[in-house]
Amino acid sequence: MQRIFRQSTAACVVACAFVGTAAHAQQVLVPAQSHIQFTSTQMGVPVQGKFQQFEANIQFNPSEVAKSTIAMKINTASATLGDAATDKNLKDEDWFNVRKFAQATFQSESVKSLGGQKYQVDGTLSMKGKNKKISVPVQLEQNGAHTTATGTFSVGRLDFGIGDGDWADTSMIANEVKVNFKLVLTGVEKLK
Amino acid sequence: MNTRYHPFSILLHWIMAIGLIGLIAVGIYMEGLPFSPSKLKLYNWHKWVGVIALALVVLRLLWRFIRPAPALPAQMLSTMPRWQQWAHTFTHVGLYALMFAVPLLGMAYSSAAGYPVVLFGLWPLPSLVAADAQLAQTLKGAHALAAWAMLVLVVLHVAGALKHQLIDRDGLMQRMLPGR
């Protein structure tokens, strides 16, 4: 009994110290205040949608920006245009094909400061099994414990085969899809 | 006093007749289509033609003030039962009201569903309401109900015209037919 107690104390000393360090450096996404929206154009009509579920693994380092890393995981089945019937279609093979490709991911490869809390994040966006290098402008803003990252960029839907088959016709749905995001984080060091 | 409608009134009447019947037919047909580019196309065409119909009814109403509809022949009025006179007025007022209500409800439904109307894919029209899925469902129902009511009045209107033409044989329909 005493031995077990001693062992678990020892385990806790190690584990708790580890958790303590990790928690110090942890940057956590506040999902309720964050969003990832996309706007496609159907016969000239801008149609807005959003992903309702996503995770971010962010290590932003204000003192050494180049060492920062950003990884995002987006649940493709959480895409919505605000109407249940249409959302069901978005899960189909021609669209996000969520059975086969449940996640879209972004992995940063370089982060550069452009001054004035503007940054450029280059990385790879993977959707539907296709990878594409993209460049994302990010604006940071700090407010108390919260750090907010916002930005807008465009992707070509056909680069990822989103809207395949009959839907590939860009006169019906434009290739360009605008993405705008707002990610609210806690645990980011004070910006320089 | 001229007993015929003005040629421009006649033109507007028949353009609207074809347009409204086409809109109702396409509206009923397109809803049941599976999610496809053709469905998207029909929805957009339906919206564009609907907007044109709304513009035409504004023009038509303004024109009606400049060139009012000829009154029913006095002789016909004297033998016409009161309820028929009421039906005559009610059908026309109702049709005008619905020619405004149906497209406006359709546009509001489109806005609420998150698809602002962009005329010919080029000119965005103002959103009548903010995007709201629940409101969209309500407006969809209202748009459909108003369109069905319009169809009922169109049938009544056509039945009345045919009754004059085929049963009464009073030539009343000549007033709205092209030619002299």
How many residue pairs from chains A and B have C-beta atoms closer than 8 A? 44
Interface test with A, best of B31, B33, B40, B111 (most A CBs within 10 A): B40
**Tens of pLDDT, residues A128-139:** 999 999 999 999
* In the block, residue with structure tokens 């989103």: A162
pLDDT tens-digit profile of A142-180? 999 999 999 999 999 999 999 999 999 999 999 999 999
- Separation of alpha carbons A120 and A102, rounded Å: 27
pLDDT given at position A191: 87
Burial B42-65, CB ≥16 within 10 A → b, else e: bbbbbbbbbbbbbebbeebeeeee
Chain-chain contact of B37 with A47 (C-beta, under 8 angstroms): no
Q: Containing H/E element for A74? A: strand A69-75
With an 8 Å Cβ cutoff, are B114 and A45 in contact?
no
- Look at the block and give the residue holding tokens 């006095």: B74
Percent of chain B's residues with pLDDT above 90: 83
- Looking at chain A from residue 57 to 116, which residues have their Cβ under 8 Å from any Cβ of chain B? 81-83, 85-86, 89
H or E, element range at A26: none
Mean pLDDT, chain A, integer: 89
Complex ipTM value: 0.79
Among B115, B117, B122, B134, most A C-beta atoms within 10 A, so best to mutate, is B115
